[in-house]
């Protein structure tokens, strides 16, 4: 089962690279904000899988909750900032 989780984690890391491409080459600021949110979500999934691989899901759960909250607040702050500048 560890090999399956490791393979899924590697695949998710590849998907993060695709989102990074969208982040760098996004034609609008909305594409870039969505790219950052997608990278954060995929990172959360990788952290969950790491918790299962190391059999320490309770330790990783605390890290995941904080990271999810920071990802959400960061996305909202960026959207509010660019809305105030009139770019969205």
C-alpha–C-alpha distance, residues 7 and 76, integer Å: 32
- Return the pLDDT at 82: 84
Span 17-72, pLDDT tens digits: 999 998 898 888 888 888 889 999 999 999 999 999 888 888 889 889 999 999 99
HSE-up of 43 (CA within 13 Å, CB side)? 19
If you ran DSSP here, which 8-state letter would residue 15 be given?
Answer: H
HSE-up of 78 (CA within 13 Å, CB side)? 15
Which residue range is the domain that position 54 belongs to?
Answer: 2-85
Structural domain tally of the chain?
1
Q: Are 88 and 30 in contact (CB under 8 A)?
A: yes
Let me know the angle formed at the C-alpha of 29 by 28 and 35, rounded to the nearest 5 degrees.
Answer: 100
User: 13 pLDDT exceeds 70?
Assistant: yes
User: 88 pLDDT exceeds 80?
Assistant: no
Q: H/E element holding 78?
A: helix 57-85
**How does residue 87 score in pLDDT terms, banded at 50, 70 and 90?**
low
User: 79 pLDDT exceeds 80?
Assistant: yes
């Amino acid at each position: 089962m560890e090999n399956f989780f490791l393979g899924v984690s590697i695949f998710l890391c590849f998907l993060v690279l695709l989102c990074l491409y969208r982040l760098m080459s996004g034609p609008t600021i909305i594409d870039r904000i969505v790219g950052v949110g997608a990278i954060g979500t995929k990172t959360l999934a990788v952290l969950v899988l790491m918790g299962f691989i190391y059999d320490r899901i309770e330790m990783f759960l605390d890290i995941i909750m904080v990271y999810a909250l920071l990802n959400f607040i960061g996305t909202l702050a960026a959207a509010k900032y660019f809305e105030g500048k009139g770019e969205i």
